[in-house]
Chain A
Amino acid sequence: MRLTLLLYQLSAFLLYALFLIFLAAQAFPWTEDRYSFYLDRRKIGLWPSLATFCATWMSAASITGFTFWLSFGGYAAFTGSVYGWLLGLIFLPFAVRKLRSLRVLSLPEWLSQTYGDERLRKVAAITLVMAYTLYIVIQFRAFGTIVAHLLSIRITLASVVVYLFVLYTTFGGLPSVVRSDSLNLAIILGGVTLGAFWVLGSAGSPLHIHRELLRSSPELLSPFSGEPPLYLFAMLFTWAFGVASNPQYAIRIISAKSSRTAWKMLALAPFVVGWIYLCLTLFGLGSTLLFSAPPGVDTETGYVMLCTSVLPPLPAMLMLVAALAAAISTANSQLLLAACALCYDLGLGERNIPRDEPFREDRFLFRNRLMVALIATVALALSLLPLPGILALGRYSWAVVTLCFLLPLYFPCGRGELFLPLLGALGLHTFLVFFTALSPEYALFPALALEWITWKILARREALHAA
């Protein structure tokens, strides 16, 4: 690697590290409790809420996976993922009142309070811990590859460096996650904007790129680009339902200063993420004319190759740091939610602490930080193992989160009797994914149907009994 390029990349990484440390450190307060640790006292204003919502939205999968897929698969990537993500956003404004009225600290708690069943809280919390741990593994893999390239170090060492970043930003709870997310969003926006403009400069205007693609590979311009439409639709709705029901977005609705702030955040968010998708799409399509990836290359390496082959050192480095920022901003919020599920919803944070203990809250928060470290360590260890189906596991985790929260949040069938339908749906989905060849996207729909039908039947039976 050329020395100038390495120097550029090293200084970009150091600058990012310094800013992150400075911003996150400001969030460590002298007095704190679980209300401030999980929700930042529900006082987050519009702009920080918008920044943390959008930064959490853009994960490593959105940046590296989408861009790389687009560069060889054309508009099918757009149909399968961007439409799905944006469609999910349409649901969220309808959840604002429901989520904020109960003054809960977590989504599993909301579920149990709304439907009056403590078992729901336990099942949802266990599902969240499992789902987020698997998802963090993917984030670690993605940024391990990128940091290894940026610093010319081994992937193992790079993963450990980023693991420390994620731990550091999560230890301060939501206040520190929100502060670091503002920086992360600015980096993502700057990186993708510069990258897209640079590619437009080399490959020509968007119209020229489309005309060239029409001449050389017209199939890339079709909304399905050779992928089976049924598969793309299944993927689209899995993403949409996943976004609508994922606690990593719902918690930002709860932590906003007021319901109006939450609604404004949801109205403005599509424009921010839309700009990022626009830049990534122009970058991906433009780079199709300038670069073709060798066959069999994995997504993260493909993304690194794409950036470094198409762009000069400075914009390439910014695009890589943007992917890094996206991965960190998603991983730290998922880590916080997983720790919350373990310590608060499953009760591990307060087990064996006497009620009259004066430092009860401090010990509770200490255990939260311990769990953050534990989950991150497990995810790091899993990310270093050669697990071939890890991406499918990520899709599986997205689907089980949907099963836990989609129907209760948006399509409730009754007040009680959700426990058995939910357990049945999770069981059916797991069976279909692990014991038949069905992909997690396809398996979601029979599982959702089972949950809805059994819940409807049980609710009707309960109503008849009451009458």
Chain B
Amino acid sequence: MNLFSPLLIWALFLLLLILPGVMVYRCFLRKPRP
């Protein structure tokens, strides 16, 4: 066991924090190009 495991846990956590925002921006909030 080393510190790699918690590091991975926190990386996935960060991804889950950002994902909804990125998804909302790309799928719903961004205006389509003319």
Interface residues of A, Cβ cutoff 8 Å to B = 75, 78-79, 82-83, 86-87, 89-90, 92-93, 96, 210-211, 214, 218-219, 221-223, 259-260, 263-264, 266-271, 274, 277
Contacts and interface: CB of A to CB of B under 8 A. Distances in A.
A221 B1 contact: yes
B16 A93 contact: no
Nearest to A274: B17
23 contacts: A75-B6, A82-B13, A83-B12, A83-B13, A86-B13, A86-B17, A87-B16, A90-B19, A93-B20, A93-B27, A211-B3, A214-B3, A219-B1, A221-B6, A222-B5, A223-B9, A260-B29, A263-B24, A263-B29, A266-B20, A267-B29, A270-B19, A274-B13
Interface of B: 1-3, 5-6, 8-9, 12-13, 16-21, 23-25, 27-29
A86 B24 contact: no
A89 B3 contact: no
Interface of B is mostly: helix
B3 A221 contact: yes
A353 B17 CA distance: 49
A210 B6 contact: yes
A189 B4 CA distance: 29
B21 to A, nearest CB: 4
B5 A93 contact: no
Contacts of B25: 267
Contacts of A223: 5, 8-9
A92 B20 CA distance: 9
B17 A270 contact: yes
Given A78-B13, A93-B20, 10 more contacts: A83-B13, A86-B17, A87-B16, A90-B16, A90-B19, A214-B2, A219-B1, A221-B1, A264-B29, A266-B20
Contact of A270 (B2, B8, B20): B20
B1 A93 contact: no
A263 B13 contact: no
A83 B16 contact: yes
A219 B1 CA distance: 8
A96 B28 contact: yes
Contacts of B13: 78, 82-83, 86, 274, 277
Contact of A263 (B3, B12, B28): B28
Contacts of A75: 5-6, 9
B17 to A, nearest CB: 4
Given A83-B16, A260-B29, A90 B23 contact: yes
Nearest to B25: A267
Contacts of B19: 90, 270
A429 to B, nearest CB: 27
Contact of B16 (A86, A92, A266): A86
Contacts of A83: 12-13, 16
A235 B17 CA distance: 20
Contacts of A90: 16, 19-20, 23
A284 to B, nearest CB: 13
A91 to B, nearest CB: 9
A222 B2 CA distance: 9
Given A78-B9, A93-B28, A223-B9, A268 B16 contact: no
A136 B18 CA distance: 31
A22 B27 CA distance: 40
Contact of B24 (A82, A218, A266): A266
